[in-house]
Amino acid sequence: MNRRDALEGLAVAGSVALAGCASGRFGSGTVLGRVEIINSSFVSNRIRLMIERGDETLLDRRIELSALDAGDAGASVIVEPSWSARRAQYTVRALHVGDDGDRESSGREYTFTRDDYTTYYGDDHEDPGCVAAVVTVGSRSETENGPIGIGPTYVDTPCG
């Protein structure tokens, strides 16, 4: 093998190795920051909130929310991130549960991607390093087990 062939082989091997690094750094993942759960209903609600990163369960918690007009701070809850700030695809799932802990409704889920981060913290804002999530439960017109919505949102300090 001559010198030129050897250099070409090294160049190809180096570009293949770097291609994996670039796709990991600029891939479709993001970092999930704080999650705010808001009861938008005039009845109290109990949900099960689950946060997953790939096959790993980061959080599985039952959350009780006061009615919107209860006059206390229990109509919303903020879950600060207790998981590592690793870029990946995070999935947030929520479903209603009954007093006995049994599932009462079909759940909702949302998988956060790099596009969510870019939409909320793109060119117009300082880069905080993660994206915040909001989970809304019920609506003012629902009496029980109202719809659950999950999605990204903008907050000044999403990483906790």
**Which phi and psi angles does 63 have, rounded to 5°?**
-130, 130
pLDDT at 21 over 50: no
Please report where in the chains the tokens 């809304």 appear, as a residue: 136
Asked whether residue 63 is assigned to any structural domain, the reply reads yes
Q: What is the DSSP letter of 85?
A: -
DSSP string for residues in 95-114: EEB-TTS-B-S--EEEEE-H
Confidence of residue 18 (pLDDT cuts 50, 70, 90): very low
Q: Are residues 62 and 108 in the same domain?
A: yes
Q: Are residues 49 and 10 in the same domain?
A: no
Q: Are residues 13 and 74 in the same domain?
A: no
Q: Are residues 95 and 148 in the same domain?
A: yes
Asked whether residue 22 is assigned to any structural domain, the reply reads yes
Q: What is the pTM of this model?
A: 0.76
CATH number at residue 118: 2.60.40
Of 28-32, 110-114, 150-154, minimum mean pLDDT range: 28-32
Other Cβ atoms within 10 Å of 70 Cβ, number: 14
- The whole-number pLDDT of residue 26 equals 39
Per the structure, the complete domain to which residue 106 belongs is given by 31-153
Confidence of residue 3 (pLDDT cuts 50, 70, 90): very low
Please report where in the chains the tokens 């109990």 appear, as a residue: 46
Asked whether residue 42 is assigned to any structural domain, the reply reads yes
Other Cβ atoms within 10 Å of 153 Cβ, number: 16
Asked whether residue 158 is assigned to any structural domain, the reply reads no
Q: Are residues 59 and 99 in the same domain?
A: yes
Most confident of 36-40, 135-139, 144-148: 36-40
Q: Are residues 53 and 128 in the same domain?
A: yes
Determine contact, residues 108/93, Cβ cutoff 8 Å.
Answer: yes
Q: Are residues 81 and 105 in the same domain?
A: yes
Residue 29 corresponds to which tokens in the numbers above?
């993942």
Report how many domains make up the chain.
2
Q: Are residues 20 and 40 in the same domain?
A: no
